[in-house]
Amino acid sequence: MSESRPVLAVSDLCVSYGKVEALHHVSIRIRPGEIVTVIGPNGAGKTTMLGAIMGLLPRSRGEVVFMGEDQPAAEVEEMVARGVNLVPEKRELFGEMSVEDNLLLGAFMRRRQGFGDERETMAMVYETFPRLKEGYAFGR
């Protein structure tokens, strides 16, 4: 195993919903090049853990360090800008929108940073995943 600095280090992470502590003292370290899978039954805290790392849920305790920088109160937009993303398990994120509109929504940060290359990027996506070009709305 590599001794390099972790890309993501989570230590003693706890998350509560009201008086109920749903996530108890979770720690995980992900080093460059590693592929990590979090598995468990429904209700085990997988989504809660990822939501707290992303800043979607407040932590009651714990530390999240991404690329060597502490994220004491992570903001979702900031985490996305730094390259951390969460893909929800539900298919219908924006079910009333087309596949293309959903994909373009994911490019908002690049557009905000002054890149106007979403059409070229979409062409690459469609070449890699030709079925997406059919334009079905998610969930249909």
Contact by Cβ (8 Å): 39, 46: yes
Contact by Cβ (8 Å): 63, 70: yes
Contact by Cβ (8 Å): 73, 84: no
**From CA 124, how far away is CA 112, in angstroms rounded?**
21
What is the pTM assigned to this prediction? 0.66
Per-residue pLDDT tens digits for 92-102: 566 677 777 87
**From CA 127, how far away is CA 120, in angstroms rounded?**
11
Per-residue pLDDT tens digits for 31-52: 999 988 889 998 899 989 998 9
What are the start and end residues of each CATH 3.40.50.300 domain in the chain?
A: 8-81
Phi-psi region of 5 (alpha: psi -120 to 50; beta: other; left: phi over 0): beta
Class in CATH terms, 8-81:
alpha beta
- Name the phi and psi angles at 17, rounded to 5: -110, 100
